[in-house]
Amino acid sequence: MCPVYLDNNATTMVAPEVREAMLPLLGEEYGNPSSMHGLGGRSGLLLEQARQKIAAGLGCAPDEIIFTSCGTEGDNTAIFSALESQPDKKHLITTRIEHPAVLNVAKHYERKGYDVTYLSVDSDGRFDLDQYRAAFRPDTALVSVMYANNESGVISPIEEMVAIAKDNGVLFHTDAVQAVGKIPIDLKKLPVDYLVLSGHKIHGPKGIGAMFLRRNTPFRPFMLGGHQEQGRRGGTENLPGIVGIGAAMELAVKHIGDENSRVRGMRDRLEKGLMAAIPDSIINGDPAIRLPNTLSIAFKYIEGEAMLLMLDRFGICASSGSACTSGSLEPSHVLRAMGVPFTYAHGSLRFSLSVYNTEEDIDLVLKELPPIISRLRQMSPFRRGDEGLDWVDDHDN
């Protein structure tokens, strides 16, 4: 069965145009861009064309783009650069809802003696800008705040947060892995110092990322080696990946209107339909400030994993709001940071759409999910009131 793929915040299908662009690199175009012959020269040209495509998509100069192996490497490199280049500044501001690619770097520096402020969010996933303003110290080296959250889809007030950091003379990094291709980004108007993206979240291949490094921003290579990427990232370039992420960015720019109209419309129809059909359901994250493709929805008294397995039988791919830590299923750190009630947090599902979804995909979920929920609620160990839907509420928090 052709799967109904609604897990695009986890990874995306490689677009046919991207695959086409990459194929010559897996065939006759195997040159090393550093070589002094024609074959290498052609590779070098493809490398620079891809760089131009990324730069055009973000509104920056090509020499401000560095190719990396993934989003994780970009996040690591940005934080490493900012902290290692200002050794006398030992304070970092980040948030409780970052991706592990940022959170685990922050924890690493905490173990090395740094102070880290983790900004909290309210139940709608929003930051408190007063808490943020109060977090700055004379020894703050960097602010690292994600552009949009991968689970809730909530978009951060990046413009305001960058402006406040600049008022304090502090460098700013944003993990924009989930924002690129879904909402317009213009680095001419957004004075961040470091911005990170990943190929496989924008219909490009896995194992390739890029980072924006604003001119005259402190930088320390994370990967020491050859002179590639102007000495900023050693290692022979991943040409198939680089050509792939370039083609994916070009396509993302073309599709951004569709993403914000048709994809948003399908997401909204899915949300309204599920909320109407399934009692005791809530939306995680402020609906007004979300990515157009993301719906995080929680159903009381259900295990997310059970729903996923049953949806999978209908060829529907989604993801739950839990992470398997040390053998037990815990609600994710993002849902915990938002204070989603216990009885709901376990029953969270994330649907993340793309331009390759159709109205039929949404129809299928709206048809199959409500009976799945009813069946699971019949089997739920939680006690039930007389009317059948009146669940005894003794497990909240």
Ligand X SMILES: *Cc1c(COP(=O)(O)O)cnc(C)c1O
Residue positions annotated with a catalytic role: 324
Paired sense of beta strands 319-320 and 348-352, if any: antiparallel
**Contact by Cβ (8 Å): 127, 271:** no
C-alpha 77 chain-centroid distance: 17
Between 302 and 349, CB nearer to ligand X: 349
CA distances from residue 373 to 269, 273, 316, 348, 360 in whole angstroms, order as listed: 18, 14, 15, 12, 20
Q: How many residues bind ligand X (CB under 6 A)?
A: 14
Q: How far apart are CA 96 and CA 104, in angstroms?
A: 11
Q: According to the binding rule CB under 6 A, does residue 70 interact with ligand X? A: yes
Contact 67, 233 (CB under 8 A): yes
Choice between 9 and 217, CB closer to ligand X: 9
Residue 173 within binding range of ligand X, rule CB under 6 A = no
Using CB under 6 A, which of 31, 33, 57, 71 touches ligand X?
A: 71
- Which x/- pattern over 208-247 shows residues binding ligand X (rule: CB under 6 A)? -x--------------------------------------
If binding is defined by CB under 6 A, does position 321 make contact with ligand X? no
178 touches ligand X by CB under 6 A: yes
Using CB under 6 A, pick the residue from 7, 64, 175, 237 that binds ligand X: 175
Among 201, 232, 233, 300, binds ligand X (CB under 6 A): 201
What minimum distance in Å lies between the beta carbon of 190 and ligand X? 17
Q: Report the residue number, 70 or 119, with the smaller CB distance to ligand X.
A: 70
Residue 350 in the binding site for ligand X (CB under 6 A)? no
Which residues make Cβ contacts (< 8 Å) with residue 357, sequence separation at least 6?
Answer: 4, 5, 6, 263, 266
The residue (of 150 and 156) whose beta carbon lies closer to ligand X is 150
Nearest CA to 333 among 137, 128, 95? 95
State which residue, 44 or 157, has the beta carbon closest to ligand X. Answer: 157
Instruction: Tell me if residue 242 falls in helix, strand or coil.
Output: helix
Strand-by-strand arrangement of the 140-144 sheet: 65-68, 209-213, 194-198, 171-175, 140-144, 91-95, 115-119
Give the residue, chosen from 14, 15, 50, 177, that forms a contact with ligand X under the rule CB under 6 A: 177
Q: Is 12 in the site for ligand X (CB under 6 A)?
A: no
Residues that bind ligand X (CB under 6 A): 70-72, 99, 101, 146, 150, 175, 177-178, 198, 200-201, 209
